Amino acid sequence: MSGVNYSERIPNNVGLSDDRRLKRALEHWQPKFLDWWKEMGPVETLNHDVYLRTAVSVEAGGWAHFDFVKMPDYRWGIFLEPREPERKIGFGAHKGEPAWQDVPGEYRGTLRRIIVTQGDTEPASVEQQRHLGLTCPSLYDLRNLFQVNVEEGRHLWAMVYLLHAHFGRDGREEAESLLVRRSGDRDNPRILGAFNEATPDWLSFFMFTFFTDRDGKFQLCALAESGFDPLARTCRFMLTEEAHHMFVGETGIRRVIQRTCEAMREHKTDDPAVLRALGVIDLPTVQRYLNFHFAVTLDLFGAETSSNAATFFTSGIKGRFQEEKLIDDHVLLGADYPILDVRDGKLVPGIAPAVNALNERLRDDFIRDTDAGMARWNRIVKGYGVGFEFRTPHKAFCRKIGAFAGLHVSPEGEAVSPEQWNARARQFLPSDEDRAYVHSLMGRVVEPGKFANWIAPPGKGIEGQPLEFEYVRFN
């Protein structure tokens, strides 16, 4: 089961050839997916040969094969982690029962909605990133962008497989709609807010892959615990791909910081105007981009307390991050979780029933993970002897969803008046001027081994290839 069958039109390890109806339905969806890719995938790239990795097995370690591929010929397929025959549901009211191989009737609507919402983010990010190739800082980065894009396409396949295999006609209709909504479209937008924001430049792209793909990681981790076994298994495999997306973000920002710190040291200055004249991105601007992407991504976790979240957990559909490793009863009846409340416009510590606070708990897990990344960036800064520290803003900063929506909270967590906020917004969030400056840096560097001035080269190439390797060949 772990080997992938590539002799079929749709590569898979789910025995698709044994289910002719399902196979036919997916083969019917496949050309529509390709049409979507050609229309909404990376612009002007259909003939490029890109050094991509393709999944050939779901075994840890040896799953990927690297070679030149034209993106429309990428072997998008359906790969689930192997089934554990004895797997039991690990939490909620069904704890200890065998994991479901089919959708329980009473949870059909809820599961479908979760799968559609997850699935919708995948093509959305491809749409958001489709123009970035035109301004890539190097061939290495261009290839990484395309790798992320094709894998998001595959994540769409992962969700569409579940919809087709387990949700009948409704599922097929949802699968069609996933190709019809468009990121940022006024009439038919993608489902979640962050996936309708533009990704206009590479700094935004690296922030997106660092923060928003990391939201993806946490959502997938929670769904990887699901009592619905096919969902759990597909999410586990998606997580191996997601790790690369976050790598692209973390190392991308690290290289930006590194380049700026080099310039700061060489020219003995921390003056943003001087640094901008040198063509690098001053660290306060990086911090403002970070603030924006952090806040937008926190909203993706939903409201602090949520009866939906409680239902998902109690029903056995969506667990907590690393549920299996947590030491408690995995049912959470009578348990509490600390949250922040808003009283008279002020933030005060509060407490909520743990089952209702699961969004908040997942958000806190996410924040811990981003803090670790931040600490790694700060080590780079310190290594250059530069006196600057990146900080994750307060969780109530600039939120549009949940208890803090509509409040004005500084990145330090201080509730301020709208007037104070407006006076200081330029310190908190990227201004039009910041965005215009970053935009002005976005040239296109495609000579092998060359990198744009605003970003340092990476430590090493891809899959043992040198930095001068021609990662993308234009045809």
Binding site for Fe ion (CB under 5 A): 122, 152, 155, 213, 216, 242, 245
**Nearest distance from C-beta of residue 91 to Fe ion, angstroms:** 24
Q: Taking the CA of residue 370 as centre, how many other CA atoms within 13 Å lie in the half-sphere pointing to its CB? A: 33
Cβ nearer to Fe ion, comparing 127 with 242? 242
Cβ nearer to Fe ion, comparing 157 with 451? 157
Integer Cα distance of 342 and 202 in angstroms: 36
Cβ nearer to Fe ion, comparing 23 with 214? 214
The CB density around residue 355, as the number of other CB atoms within 10 Å, is 23
**Nearest distance from C-beta of residue 155 to Fe ion, angstroms:** 4
Identify the DSSP state of 72: G
Q: Which of 124, 308, 137 is nearest to 213 (CA)?
A: 124
Task: Compute and round to an integer the Cα radius of gyration of the chain.
Answer: 23
**Nearest distance from C-beta of residue 122 to Fe ion, angstroms:** 5
Name the burial class of residue 31, with classes exposed (0-12), middle (13-18) and buried (19+) by CB atoms within 10 angstroms of its CB.
exposed
**Nearest distance from C-beta of residue 343 to Fe ion, angstroms:** 38
Yes or no: say if 200 and 182 are a contact pair by the CB < 8 Å rule: no
Give SS3 for 431: coil
Bridge partners for 343 per DSSP: 346
Identify the DSSP state of 61: S
Integer Cα distance of 157 and 154 in angstroms: 5
Bridge partners for 422 per DSSP: none
**Nearest distance from C-beta of residue 164 to Fe ion, angstroms:** 18
Integer Cα distance of 339 and 117 in angstroms: 25
Integer Cα distance of 456 and 245 in angstroms: 19
Integer Cα distance of 380 and 112 in angstroms: 44
Handedness of CA 183, 186, 187, 193 (dihedral sign): positive
Cβ nearer to Fe ion, comparing 50 with 396? 50
Handedness of CA 236, 238, 241, 243 (dihedral sign): negative
Q: Which of 249, 209, 8, 228 is nearest to 128 (CA)?
A: 209
Cβ nearer to Fe ion, comparing 213 with 282? 213
List all residues 6 or more positions away from 3 whose beta carbon is below 8 Å from its beta carbon.
Answer: 13, 56, 57
Strands of the 64-70 sheet, one edge to the other: 64-70, 49-55, 472-473
Q: Which two tokens stand for residue 143?
A: 């290839």
Distances (CA, A) of 154 to 37, 70, 334, 384: 11, 15, 40, 40
Q: Which two tokens stand for residue 310?
A: 């409680």
**Nearest distance from C-beta of residue 475 to Fe ion, angstroms:** 27
**Nearest distance from C-beta of residue 210 to Fe ion, angstroms:** 11
Cβ nearer to Fe ion, comparing 236 with 288? 236
**Nearest distance from C-beta of residue 368 to Fe ion, angstroms:** 20
Cβ nearer to Fe ion, comparing 248 with 472? 248
**Nearest distance from C-beta of residue 211 to Fe ion, angstroms:** 11
**Residue 134 corresponds to which amino acid?**
L
**Nearest distance from C-beta of residue 118 to Fe ion, angstroms:** 8
**Nearest distance from C-beta of residue 158 to Fe ion, angstroms:** 8
**Nearest distance from C-beta of residue 394 to Fe ion, angstroms:** 26
Cβ nearer to Fe ion, comparing 151 with 299? 151
The CB density around residue 242, as the number of other CB atoms within 10 Å, is 24
Cβ nearer to Fe ion, comparing 216 with 373? 216
Cβ nearer to Fe ion, comparing 152 with 434? 152
Cβ nearer to Fe ion, comparing 213 with 229? 213
Cβ nearer to Fe ion, comparing 245 with 395? 245
